[in-house]
């Protein structure tokens, strides 16, 4: 009997099943430094403890996406080691700020199962929650992923497709953001004068700069998150994959696009929710990522006069400037697009 885990196959999941993931992980300023070195983020709130404490946090908050990557990484050995494809996210809410010294854990519940007609694979829907220091939820999201069956003849373990929100409602935003002292928020130090009222639905912003990814960089990132998907760092196996080479973890593109978006969205300091995300095309080492954003909606937050929410679509491309806002091309995406992300960010009013 082997002690090596081969991960779960489609027929191993059960509706309502709860999976407590290994490995607990204390987040440190060391992780923050590496995250900064990988993406060059410049949002003042995460960059400066002084700035964050003046604004209302008890310390600089850990970048929301770093929290997500670490929580996501924990789920890989149990949920997606035998995945064929990551299909989507929905209803991702950030629920409490995370600071250096907090220990993150993760728990997933199987909320849907749907065998594919080929009977070779099935779609697994999970709701994952990340916690700090035992029981304080910091993050919650639904995710669905196509998973191989070990045995094609095994009966389907269930047949239920959950109803998932297409967007997080504004009333659910802001739990991870303490009351912000607008008077103490320094718009000169933050790098831009633009606040909530300056953005309009339909507005498009080119984030201008590109960032090239090296193999060493995305490997460092993936391992930092303890993400065990070998396609990202095992080139011997990757050479035999359909890509013929290592595939960059999809979250890397999200973090690059977010970091680039500082140029135009400098005060949108907190990702409060991710409504949905689609990895339209794969990203490989040597590619240069560019990004642009459209303001889809703006919303005040019930009961809060300090911050408002911008619903933003950020599109990332590879090896293509975004001055003309490439997105759709007929029914399909522009061939340069790699990421279509829909999220809510908070910004001082």
What are 204's two structure tokens? Answer: 């498009």
Peptide linkage before 23 cis (omega within 30 of 0)? yes
> SS3 of 317, please?
strand
Tell me whether residue 168 or residue 315 sits nearer to a second copy (CB atom).
315
Q: Which is nearer to a second copy, 44 or 273 (CB)?
A: 44
CB of 97 to a second copy, least distance (A): 16
Q: Report the distance separating Cα 222 and Cα 73, nearest Å.
A: 8
- How many of the other CB atoms lie within 10 Å of CB of 44? 22
Cβ-contact 98, 61 below 8 angstroms: yes
- Cβ proximity to a second copy: between 167 and 231 the closer is 231
Structure tokens at 224: 């930092």
Nearest approach, Cβ of residue 159 and a second copy (Å): 29
Least distance in Å: CB of 88 to a second copy?
26
Residue whose CB is less far from a second copy, 156 or 186:
186
Q: Give the DSSP letter string of 228-250.
A: --GGGT-HHHHTTSTTSSPPPPH
Ramachandran class of 26: left when φ > 0, alpha when ψ lies in -120 to 50, beta otherwise: beta
- Shortest distance, position 156 Cβ to a second copy, whole Å: 27
Which CB atom, from 266 or from 315, has the smaller least distance to a second copy?
266
CB of 13 to a second copy, least distance (A): 17
Q: Are 325 and 206 in contact (CB under 8 A)?
A: yes
């Amino acid at each position: 009997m082997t002690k090596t885990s081969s991960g779960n196959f489609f027929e191993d999941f059960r509706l309502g099943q709860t999976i407590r993931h290994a490995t607990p992980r204390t987040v440190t300023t060391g992780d923050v430094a590496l995250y900064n070195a990988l993406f060059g983020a410049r949002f003042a709130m995460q960059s400066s403890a002084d700035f964050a404490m003046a604004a209302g946090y008890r310390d600089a908050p850990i970048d929301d996406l770093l929290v997500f990557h670490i929580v996501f990484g924990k789920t890989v050995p149990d949920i997606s080691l035998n995945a064929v494809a990551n299909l989507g996210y929905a209803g991702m809410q950030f629920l409490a700020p995370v600071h250096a010294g907090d220990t993150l854990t993760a728990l997933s519940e199987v909320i849907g199962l749907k065998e594919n007609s080929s009977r070779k694979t099935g779609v697994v829907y999970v709701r994952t929650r990340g916690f700090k220091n035992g029981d304080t939820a910091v993050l919650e999201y639904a995710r669905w992923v196509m998973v191989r069956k070990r045995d094609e003849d095994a009966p389907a373990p269930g047949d239920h497709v959950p109803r998932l929100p297409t967007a997080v409602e504004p009333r659910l935003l802001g739990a991870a953001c303490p009351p912000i002292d607008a008077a103490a928020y320094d718009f000169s130090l933050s790098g831009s004068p633009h606040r909530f009222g300056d953005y309009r639905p339909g507005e498009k912003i080119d984030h201008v700069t590109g960032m090239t990814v090296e193999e060493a960089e995305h490997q460092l990132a993936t391992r930092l998150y303890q993400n065990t998907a070998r396609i990202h760092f095992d080139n011997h196996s990757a050479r035999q994959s359909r890509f013929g080479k290592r595939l960059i973890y999809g979250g890397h593109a999200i973090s690059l696009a977010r970091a680039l978006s500082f140029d135009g969205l400098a005060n949108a300091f907190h990702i409060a929710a991710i409504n949905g995300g689609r990895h339209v095309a794969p990203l490989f080492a040597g590619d240069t990522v560019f990004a642009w954003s459209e303001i889809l909606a703006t919303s005040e937050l019930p009961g809060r006069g300090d911050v408002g929410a911008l619903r933003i679509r950020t599109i990332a491309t590879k090896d293509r400037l975004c001055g003309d806002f490439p997105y759709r091309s007929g029914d399909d995406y522009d061939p340069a697009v790699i990421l279509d992300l829909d999220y809510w960010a908070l910004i001082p009013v």
